Amino acid sequence: MPIRDSDIKKVLIIDLGQVGDVIMSFPALIAIRKRFPSAESVVIAGKTSSALIKDLCLVDRTITIDRYGLLRGPKLRSISQIFGIVSAVRKEKFDLVIDLHSLHESNLLGYFSGAKHRLFANRRNRSLDRLSNVRPRPPLYDPSKHLAEIYLDVLAPLDIDGTDVNIHIEPPTNLVNNFRSKYINSDSGSRGSVGLLTGAGNPSRIWPLENFVELARRFHDLNDLKVFVFLGPEEKPHQSFIREKFGDTAIVVPDLTLIELAAAFSTMDLVIGNDTGTTHLAAVSGPSVVMIIDKRAPVTFTPLGGTSMTVKTDVVEKISVDDVWSEVGLFDERAKKKEYPEKDQSD
């Protein structure tokens, strides 16, 4: 079904990936808003992702749903939730619905939204393609591509191309200033900052804590680098233990929301973390980023950003501190000269 720009007054974007997936959809969200500048853009996402999208003003409005219950709960309950959401969505009278992630449940939501135009990601055996009516269809999901590019492929029928995936977000200035005032400017010296992200939602993606402790010690010994350890919800029960492990080599910062984390990351020179959503957030917030990731992980899920790097020399638990130290450029003569990690190195 052809689309006339004059017909598109309201666009609904279904963005039901996990936090890291949603962050990699940011280039697509920006592209959609540019493609339909006069239309109201609305995103449906999970609670945490919805809050981040709203705080960054990437769209006009967000609709928050129980993502886990919809995609992981019992099928009958998921269908019940879909129809509950549909009731509210249909009243909005959207003209175009775009399902970036495209699963059976989200396709049903898009189909029953009442939107005249429906554009769904083309995922073999994962999507209900017959419920999509925008033609030509998007290219078939290509797992050899980066996820940000896969999301942009979904938009190909809308004549959207040439979008740069290496975006840079701008956290609210007041939150940046708050973090600087509390943690950076309180230091009398002028020092670079390194952030460490020790957790991950999946235990198989977690680099051993003692390795992060050793990294912090090495950075601390350089004297001109201030080290921060940012804790997520999964580390909160172990906060005292983690503080004890790092001692005076790092400042442990708990309980930040995603938008507060983005503000904190924007003040860092370098962030090192596991394969998790907050590392992806750091990659679009400004600092150089090193993601410690299983060598078997596909390029699809590597972080965005022209200054992002990955360490994939082995399975996560076998990656050494020296592997990471070398990757950030502080293992050789640059460490002796106390130079900061290079900003122009890309994955």
- What is the chain's pLDDT, residue by residue, as a tens digit (347 residues)? 668 888 999 999 999 989 999 999 999 999 999 999 999 999 999 999 999 999 999 999 999 988 777 666 677 777 777 778 888 899 999 999 999 999 888 898 899 999 999 999 998 878 888 899 999 999 999 989 999 999 999 999 999 877 888 899 999 999 999 999 998 876 655 568 999 999 998 888 999 999 999 999 999 988 778 999 999 888 888 999 999 999 999 999 999 999 999 999 999 999 999 999 999 999 999 999 999 998 888 888 889 877 788 888 888 999 999 999 988 874 334 334 444 344 333 33
Q: What is the pTM (predicted TM-score) of this model?
A: 0.88
Verify cis geometry, omega within 30 degrees of 0, for the bond prior to 303.
no
Q: Which pLDDT does position 342 carry in this prediction?
A: 40
Q: Please write the tens of the pLDDT for every residue from 262-302.
A: 999 999 999 999 999 999 999 999 999 999 998 888 888 88
Determine contact, residues 282/271, Cβ cutoff 8 Å.
Answer: yes
**How far is 109 from 102, CA to CA, in rounded Å?**
10
**How far is 180 from 187, CA to CA, in rounded Å?**
10
Determine contact, residues 256/230, Cβ cutoff 8 Å.
Answer: yes
Classify residue 230 by burial, with Cβ atoms within 10 Å: 0-12, 13-18, 19+: buried
Quick one: CA dihedral 41, 301, 200, 211, positive or negative? negative
Where are any strands of DSSP class E within the chain? Answer: 10-14, 40-46, 61-65, 96-99, 117-120, 192-197, 225-230, 251-253, 270-274, 288-292, 308-311
| CATH topology match: 5-158 vs 173-336 | yes
Torsion, CA 156, CA 160, CA 165, CA 168, rounded to 10: -150
Q: Which pLDDT does position 189 carry in this prediction?
A: 57
- Among residues 4, 86, 5, 8, the alpha carbon closest in space to that of 40 is found at 8
- Among residues 339, 342, 338, the alpha carbon closest in space to that of 327 is found at 342
Backbone angles phi, psi at 88, to 5 degrees: -75, -40
Q: Please write the tens of the pLDDT for every residue from 16-60.
A: 989 999 999 999 999 999 999 999 999 999 999 999 999 999 999
> Quick one: fold of 173-336?
Rossmann fold (3.40.50)
246-256 burial, b for 16+ CB within 10 Å, e for fewer?
beebbbbbeeb
* Lookup result for tokens 């949603």: 22
Q: Which pLDDT does position 336 carry in this prediction?
A: 44
CATH number of this structure's domain 5-158: 3.40.50.2000
Q: Where are the domains of the chain?
A: 5-158, 173-336
